[in-house]
Amino acid sequence: MYTLWLIPDKSAYKKLSKLIIDLSTTHDTPKFEPHVTLLSGITDSRSVAIQNTEKLAKNCSPISAALTRIEFLEFYYRCLFFCTSKSTELMNVRSQAENLFEHTSISPFIPHVSFLYGSLPIFQKETIIAELGDSFFMDFRMPKLRLVKTQRTPEYWEFIEEYDL
């Protein structure tokens, strides 16, 4: 199973990465790279997935986004996350990806940047949200598209290819 990630620009990446590492160390949860999941559940063969990722990247330019608010769910991979603006360009790239790849993703597309995976009690999530406030709300660009093999848990995820948009 493969996933397409949009990777934030260097400045946003650095800031988000530090937050992810700090929180995962504090709460003993997995570390992972900051990203916006463009499409998950890709079932194409590795070679076809690489080929389609390259094709998609060639047809796209860097995508602008904004982190607008913090939310949480009772899902491991959306323990705490920043909601990301649904720009026209982002939604167009998502639509292109859905048409290019064989995938099992049937959930509605909710652009976001997770910053903590795991299972924490609600009071801990609310405390983290209060401590962060709006200090991470920012505009940024996503100039890279990455194909990742995302089976099992984050420590087993495998970087496959990355392309400039």
Output the pTM of the full model: 0.93
Cα 58 from Cα 49, distance rounded (Å): 14
- What Rg, from alpha-carbon coordinates, does the chain have? 15
Which residues have C-beta within 8 Å of that of residue 66, sequence separation ≥ 6? Answer: 84, 85, 137, 138, 139, 140
When mean pLDDT is compared across 22-26, 59-63, 101-105, 126-130, the lowest value belongs to: 101-105
Q: What angle do CA 7, 49, 30 make, to 5 degrees?
A: 45
Provide the pLDDT for residue 144: 98
- pLDDT tens digits for 13-71? 999 999 999 999 999 999 999 999 999 999 999 999 999 999 999 999 999 999 999 99
Percent of the chain with pLDDT over 90: 88
**Is 3.90.1140.10 the CATH classification of the domain at 2-164?**
yes
pLDDT, average across residues 74-85: 92
Strands 63-71 and 139-142: antiparallel
* Residue 62 structure tokens: 């860097």
The domain limits of the chain are 2-164
So what's the pLDDT on residue 149? Answer: 97
For residue 108, what are the contacts with CB-CB under 8 A and spacing of at least 6?
none
Q: What is the pLDDT of residue 107?
A: 74
